[in-house]
Amino acid sequence: MRGVWTPERIRAAEQRLFDTVPEPVVMRRAANGVALHVRRLLGRRHGRVAGRHVTLLVGAGNNGGDALWAGALLRRRGVGVTAVLLAPDRTHTEGLRALRAAGGRVVPAETESGLSPEAAGALRRGDVVVDGVVGLSARGGLRPLAAEAVAHIAGPVVAVDLPSGVDPVTGAVDGVAVSAEITVTFGCLRPCHVLGEGARRSGRVRVVDIGLDPWLEAPDFSVPEAVDVGSLWPVPDREDDKYTQGVLGVAAGSASFPGAAMLTSAGAVRAASGMVRYAGPAADAVRERWPEVVATGSVGDAGRVQAWSVGPGIGTGGSGREVLAAVLEEGRPVVADADAITLLASDITLWDARDPDVPVVLTPHDGEFARLTGSAPRDRVSEAVRAARRYDVVLLLKGNSTVVAAPDGRVLVYPCGQSWPATAGSGDVLTGMIGKLLAAGLDPLWACGCAVLVHARAAEIAATGSDPAPGGATGTGESSSEEVGAPIGASALVEAVPAAIRETRAAALGDPRVPRPPR
């Protein structure tokens, strides 16, 4: 599990570090990490480092200073370096002096008419461009000169701390922003590395140790990894039978639209052993496709279960309301999705059927979240936490970066890194998977976190046609497969769930072929 800290708390930790280690020493550690990853990128792309050219796009303050110090280190390795200064009068003095002493070239970015031709040419010609424009204090979009400079970048970018133009807290982008191939950050992950557009624009995130660990308190939220999921995923023990592993009830679909019932049941069947009981008008269709599911016509006839998955395809009319109320009155943990969320948002009296001591998981996408709260989320973490506390639920906010928030303030974020799960019925599969993990007794927050990671990796396996790959499902937000993928349907995704589970279990068991993600 990888921790993520907000900028405010990182700055506080950095200040405590600077009280014990001189700031220039820390800056050189950071610059050495940037230079190292630039050299590696040059080596991969060109087979050599010496003789290549790197352009530094330098803003004011320490972020630009890190870029300048990194440039000085690269010059000593035979790399040509040109620094484009966006704010010459506020450029980091010592970093600039070090670059010039090493033989680096310096050009101002601005002329009376805008970006200088010399600066534009340097940004186009760089074999690698180092983005040192803004850091953790950034707010809002890039200023016009910086935006114009970014538009001239032609080669791959190594971003210092975060891609400029990305909000450090939310990962949102408003206007022009850098898209990095690699982001080198210091001490720990920032929210923008795993949230929203920032997760995509950060590329591969590399965390450089600058001595910050002793000064960091508990993270604001965490990113689950394969080793965490594999250690928690329920598998049969020697003494287990079909009842001891958890029985899930599924209330989904309709006679006219049985697909939601079949996919929700399929997600549950593929996720874990034990038993699945389906209750609803699509019983015949579910029984025909999944003969191991015990299918009946109504919630009242389903028999004893340890948890319920409810909502996909039940409708938002009177019959759907009756199904949801009956499930909530059972007094068992519930994962409510799709139509169930719409019903709960539109009819507050339905909440009266819930036992307040029984866990409930809501799994909205952005539109459903807006129905619950009145607006689509912008700051996905803080708004998910507020909604979780308001409704006293574990709230799973779906998206390419999925946020899982518990009412006690715990948060998991999983950046998918690819969009293969974005297909009709995929959410139904996830609802069944979460429900089965709830029935097996997992903590609701981790039932969601585990299911999200395996669901994303299963989609990737299905889309790329790959075998379970060593190093898959690492939780870094990076694609683990180099193979070209093709669009899939939810049926293909669900078939790949066991393969994804095997990967996580291999990681947890210490399989040497499954490397830990790079830090």
What are the structure tokens assigned to 213, written together? 């660990």
Residue 454 in contact with residue 229, Cβ under 8 Å?
A: yes
Per-residue pLDDT tens over the stretch 69-102: 999 999 999 999 999 999 999 999 999 999 999 9
Q: Write out the E strands in 32-156.
A: 53-58, 80-85, 105-108, 110-111, 114-115, 128-132
Residue 267: the pLDDT is: 98
* Dist. CA 336–CA 371, nearest whole Å: 14
Least reliable range by pLDDT among 1-5, 26-30, 113-117, 483-487: 483-487
Per-residue pLDDT tens over the stretch 412-431: 999 998 899 999 999 999 99
| Local structure of 80: helix, strand or coil | strand
Per-residue pLDDT tens over the stretch 477-504: 454 445 789 999 999 999 999 999 999 9
Residue 482: the pLDDT is: 56
Residue 53, strand partner residues: 80
* Dist. CA 372–CA 163, nearest whole Å: 33
Q: Which of 222, 149, 224, 284 is nearest to 454 (CA)?
A: 224
How would you label 181-195 residue by residue, b for 16+ Cβ within 10 Å and e otherwise?
bbbbbbbbbbbbbbb
Mean of pLDDT over the chain: 94
Q: What is the DSSP pairing of strand 80-85 with strand 105-108?
A: parallel
User: Which class for 365: exposed (0-12), middle (13-18), buried (19 or more C-beta within 10 A)?
Assistant: middle
Residue 202 in contact with residue 162, Cβ under 8 Å?
A: yes
Angle at 122 between CA 119 and CA 128, to 5 degrees: 130
- Place 256 in a pLDDT band, splitting at 50, 70 and 90: confident
CB-based contacts of 199, cutoff 8 Å, min separation 6: 171, 192, 193, 400, 401, 415, 417, 477
Per-residue pLDDT tens over the stretch 316-326: 999 999 999 99
Residue 60 in contact with residue 135, Cβ under 8 Å?
A: no
Residue 139 in contact with residue 116, Cβ under 8 Å?
A: no
Provide the whole-model pTM.
Answer: 0.92
Q: Which of 127, 132, 138 is nearest to 185 (CA)?
A: 132
- Place 470 in a pLDDT band, splitting at 50, 70 and 90: very low
CB-based contacts of 322, cutoff 8 Å, min separation 6: none
- Place 513 in a pLDDT band, splitting at 50, 70 and 90: low
* Dist. CA 211–CA 422, nearest whole Å: 40
Sign of the four-CA dihedral 354, 355, 356, 361: negative
Question: Average of pLDDT values for 272-297?
Answer: 97
Which CATH number applies to 2-219: 3.40.30.10, 3.40.50.10260, 3.40.50.2020, 3.40.50.1000?
3.40.50.10260
- Place 519 in a pLDDT band, splitting at 50, 70 and 90: very low
Please name the CATH architecture into which domain 243-456 falls.
3-Layer(aba) Sandwich (3.40)
DSSP 8-state secondary structure symbol assigned to residue 517: P
* Dist. CA 24–CA 97, nearest whole Å: 13
What are the structure tokens assigned to 37, written together? 């990853």
pLDDT at 474 over 80: no
pLDDT at 221 over 90: yes
Residue 140: the pLDDT is: 80
What are the structure tokens assigned to 514, written together? 């499954």
List C-alpha distances in Å: 489 to 52, 148, 263: 45, 41, 11
Per-residue pLDDT tens over the stretch 339-388: 999 999 999 999 999 999 999 999 999 999 999 999 999 999 999 999 99
- For every residue of 415-454, DSSP letters joined together read E-SS-TT-STTHHHHHHHHHHHHHHTT--HHHHHHHHHHH
Residue 229 in contact with residue 434, Cβ under 8 Å?
A: no
CB-based contacts of 136, cutoff 8 Å, min separation 6: 7, 10, 11, 161, 162, 168, 190
The domain locations on the chain are 2-219, 243-456
Number of CB atoms found within 10 A of residue 241's CB: 10
